[in-house]
Structure 1
Amino acid sequence: MTRVESVHPEREITLARLAMDPPIDTLVDLLADQAARSPEREFLRFTAGTWTFGEIDDWTSRLARRLVAEDGVRPGDRVAIMLPNVVEWPVAWLSILGAGGVTVPVNSSYQRADLEFVLRDSGARLIFTDAEHRALVEEVRTGADDLADVRIIDVSAVGELAHLPAGRPVLDITGETLANLQYTSGTTGFPKACMLTHDYWTRLGWVCANATDLGPDDVALTSQPFSYMDPQWNTALCLTIGAPLVVLPRFSASGFMADVRKHRATFCYVLGSMPTLLYKQAPTPQDRDNDLRIVLCSGVPAALHAELEQRWGAPWREIFGMTESGVDLVSLPESTEDVGSGRLGRPVPTKQVRVIDPQGREVGEGESGELVTSGKPMMLGYWNRPEDTAQVLRDGWLHTGDVAVREEGSYRLVGRLKDMVRRGGENIASAEVERVLERDDSVVATAVVGVPDELFGEEVKAFVQLAPGVAESRETAQRILDDARNQLARFKLPRYVEFVADFPRTPSERVSKPALKARAAENPGTTYDLQPPRD
């Protein structure tokens, strides 16, 4: 754990809790506990209104009874949710869990093939949805014989539960009970479903609460779609600390910080391109007029880290995990030495982390290798995919596919095992080139890929999203690369630059490079060949 010699004794006690098991190990019991202790305390805040812990506990308990009595849900049955960011999403989730069911989150932007795959793969025979998505669900039901018995619960009716008794069904639900089939990004082929237990979610909430020192007086805010895991663990966090969760309809770079001020949020989590997009909004005199105490982020741009903190007046700290593993590494609020370093922090006490070579041997300090992790929280495996499970979970260690180095007990990512460009005899980590290019003020985001080349096998190509008003010209491309020459070896500099308006992204907010390359092949954007001198 990060050094805490100068930390206040109360903070040391909080940090010690990181190594403890959460005192309540199911989400439904966390909700019941908060409802019993603070029934009038605000829990969920959406555009449509606010709801207390007591109201949500009563609503979800009655809906769980309906699922059992009227919809025939039995322990282990899979129930899908296809909704935008409305209060019925977490209500459906907690109700399914209260009925002993397993939730299958469905991205509300999915089209027919995506939805058909998830329903068939998960075996869900019940789906919560709304008027906007009902026609698509009906189309999938009627278009496939094996999905014809999927039944729809229209969320416009899930508030009509007065005829049902209060109190959730009496069922044997424990920390080891399966809670979610959470589908991963699926950057190659269809996604896989991670089997996540109640313990996974409660432990994730417990770790994040104690790592950040959040409590009942805090206000959390999220803007990602609820079908992603981030608003779900934010919910587990707020159930742990008894604080409200503000859920925005969607992420808007231009409006996000205004919403942070409006709702007096003290905590938020961002990832992917969000930090860069936020920073590249025009500064305002109100930037530091907020109540933020800490921002957690996966992928803080190292070059912007200190400036992000200075601009909004709050510490930004890294948290690293995957859908498969929840949380592995975290940089604590007091870890000021991590600012701008690109380091992800240290392992949480319930996890072990190693950096290994292809033979599975641990490498030395400063040497790169694959990051592997074990401990709790952790998925049980991939649903109905034992071979994929065996490939990624070996001898109790999750192989992340991320390339990292260990530095003074902390860890820094340097790329992905499969996200490399092999130019001649050189392996080039795409992430390294992307980080350098994104330091340019005119660049919003980048994605670096390899493209075929007769001489070198592959050449480096950068897809670049420019800030508004910047010309998509050869001069712009050349200037960006000229600025990068002092930071990258010559062989790492992109030969090709293609300007794009945006990037296709996975549900975890990573750029989908297969989709990006397919889009470029079908409909290429403005591209420049900046032929460097041949080596």
Structure 2
Amino acid sequence: MMIKGEELSEIYNPKTQPKILEESASKYGDNVAIDYFGNRITYNDLYLMVKGISSQLDIRKGDIVILSMQNIPQFIILEYAIWEKGGIVLPVNPSYSERELEFLIHDSGVHLMIASCEAKVDNSKIKVIRTSPYTFHEIPEELREKWKVNDCNEELNFKSLSRDLAEDLKPNDLALLVYTSGTTGKPKGVPITHVNIFASSIIYNKWFNFSERDKILGIAPFFHITGQIFHITTAVLSGSEIDISYRFNPSLALRDVEEKKTTVTMSVATAYRAMLNAYNNEDLSSMRLWSSGGMPMPRALELEWKEKIGQWIYMAWGLTETTSPATLWPYPYDGELPVDKETGIVSSGIPVYNTEIKVAEDGEILVRGPQVVSGYWKMDKFKDGWLPTGDIGKIVNGWVYIIDRKKDIIDASGFKIMPREVEEVIYEHPAVSEVAVVGLPDEYRGETVAAFIKLKDSYEPSEKLKEEIISLCRKNLAPYKVPRIVNFVNEIPKTPSGKIMRRAFRNENT
């Protein structure tokens, strides 16, 4: 089966990111572009800083530059400054080890690294420029201690007004090189062009009616594709305000919504669970759009959010390889929660503009569209432009349901079990905060179903609670899907972007 999103003619007239910033500075010059702990930077200021910083960077067109920092103003300024010179940005989580960095440096051929104080660096491999999280504002003391934020000398001059001539960029030139998390084998580089970024940004802009009146709650990491596109490039295209505070903290995020009157956001399901846990009747009425991507959204969490906050969390689905969006819920949406009757899984929406989605014979979802990259770094291009996503799913009445990752399917005694279907049932128990279901080696069955559960703060682990959860599974699942192992854990390991890492439990128990 194949379905295609509506046509959007604007996608066929792509612009480079420096050109978009120049136009936004002209249209929205006095509008706030960035709010960092109350320090506001206008679009005029941002444009001048980008020009000034660009003249300080010793790079040429096609050079790859690592940006390793949290959500601070420098990330946005430096990104556009690198693009201004025709460079390619390689965003990196500042918590990466030197070993992880060494692989990226070797595989990509990095020319320069710009890192905030806490990031690990190896100056013997490449030139490194340091920038400080404190340059644009102090970080509140309680958060500084919690996050262990380091300070260092600022090595860039953000007051410089030099204006070098911009490099002659073309929309098909590379803008980003983003490495996948490497859940199987080594990470793969995803080369993203200005065309890809423009397509994704205009999709979000038109789909969700972004405008200069919007204030984005910037809680997704900028080094992740969601933060890159939804928080940064869509905002700049739209003349919207980007509200950031170094890292995500649920109480701080809720306070920012109440005080700064933010209007839209996108983040992972675990961030929404954290915000629900921290919710203390803050006024969240300014938010017109709560959206989520990057990982599945448990049905129980959707229902609890709707009950307490009064709005649905609009689901999105995409990958680094789709430069963020491939499917989105229609907007606005005031219907019932779209749930697959067979699996209990919440739909990830319908295909976005100009995007084709089809299901292969084995159930794998394939995607083709202007935001989809042509292939992986130093590897062959995707056949006929179709990206094999590694996700198993289905299409029902035009809605796409992502059931699970192909590599996570459990094979027990010849039966194929989707972990997410089991997780959805376990989430129905009121004691469950987070759960990861994996297949563990079993001499008799090949694999056995194991559930690792983090309880809500008001519950204590017990054999009685374990039996309740197993009984709930027996009532709602076929016998072969019921977990034979149930373990309570203090934490569910997550990636830097907040996705639950099932593989951590497989590796730990094999």
Q: With structure 2 as the length reference, what TM-score do the two structures score? A: 0.88
Deviation at 1:279, TM superposition (A): 3.0
Deviation at 1:294, TM superposition (A): 1.0
Distance change in 2, residues 1:26/1:379 (3 Å):
same
Distance 1:424 1:441 in 2: 31
State which of 449, 466, 482 in structure 2 corresponds to 1:460: 449
Q: Deviations over 1:13-36 (max 9, x none)?
A: xx9784531755211111111111
* Counterpart for residue 448 of structure 1: 437
* Counterpart for residue 373 of structure 2: 379
Distance 1:250 1:86 in 2: 9
Distance 1:455 1:471 in 2: 33
Distance 1:105 1:179 in 2: 11
Deviation at 1:263, TM superposition (A): 1.7
Distance 1:152 1:336 in 2: 50
* Counterpart for residue 141 of structure 1: 123
State which of 322, 327, 349 in structure 2 corresponds to 1:325: 322
Give the SS at the match of 1:285: coil
Distance change in 2, residues 1:485/1:306 (3 Å):
same
Q: Deviations over 1:305-362 (max 9, x none)?
A: 244234223342111111001321111123334624211221112111111114xxxx
State which of 18, 36, 39 in structure 1 corresponds to 2:26: 36
Give the SS at the match of 2:123: helix
Distance 1:510 1:296 in 2: 15
Larger RCO of the pair (alpha carbons < 8 Å, separation 6+): 2
Contact 2:425–2:472 at 8 Å: present in 1 too?
no
Distance change in 2, residues 1:481/1:76 (3 Å):
same
* Counterpart for residue 336 of structure 1: 334
- What is the total number of aligned residue pairs between the two structures? 474
State which of 154, 160, 167 in structure 1 corresponds to 2:130: 154
Kindly name which structure, 1 or 2, has the bigger radius of gyration based on alpha carbons.
Answer: 1
Contact 1:354–1:372 at 8 Å: present in 2 too?
yes
State which of 282, 286, 295 in structure 1 corresponds to 2:290: 295
Q: With structure 1 as the length reference, what TM-score do the two structures score? A: 0.84
Q: Deviations over 1:111-147 (max 9, x none)?
A: 11111111121111211113333xx31xx333xxxx2
Contact 2:436–2:452 at 8 Å: present in 1 too?
yes
Deviation at 1:78, TM superposition (A): 0.5
Distance 2:371 2:112 in 1: 28
Distance 2:181 2:261 in 1: 32
Match status 1:486 vs 2:475: yes
Q: Deviations over 1:213-262 (max 9, x none)?
A: 22111111121222112221121111121110111322223443222212
Distance 2:82 2:479 in 1: 55
Q: Deviations over 1:342-396 (max 9, x none)?
A: 11221112111111114xxxxxxxxxx1111111101232212x1xx55xx2222
Contact 2:15–2:171 at 8 Å: present in 1 too?
yes
Distance 2:303 2:87 in 1: 45
Contact 1:273–1:509 at 8 Å: present in 2 too?
yes
Matches within 5 A, 1:60-139: 60-67=50-57, 71=58, 73-133=59-119, 136-137=120-121
Match status 1:370 vs 2:370: no
Distance 1:90 1:17 in 2: 30
State which of 394, 397, 403 in structure 2 corresponds to 1:414: 403
Contact 1:96–1:103 at 8 Å: present in 2 too?
yes
Contact 2:6–2:352 at 8 Å: present in 1 too?
no
Contact 1:193–1:382 at 8 Å: present in 2 too?
yes
Contact 1:19–1:349 at 8 Å: present in 2 too?
no
Contact 1:331–1:338 at 8 Å: present in 2 too?
no
Distance 1:474 1:273 in 2: 26
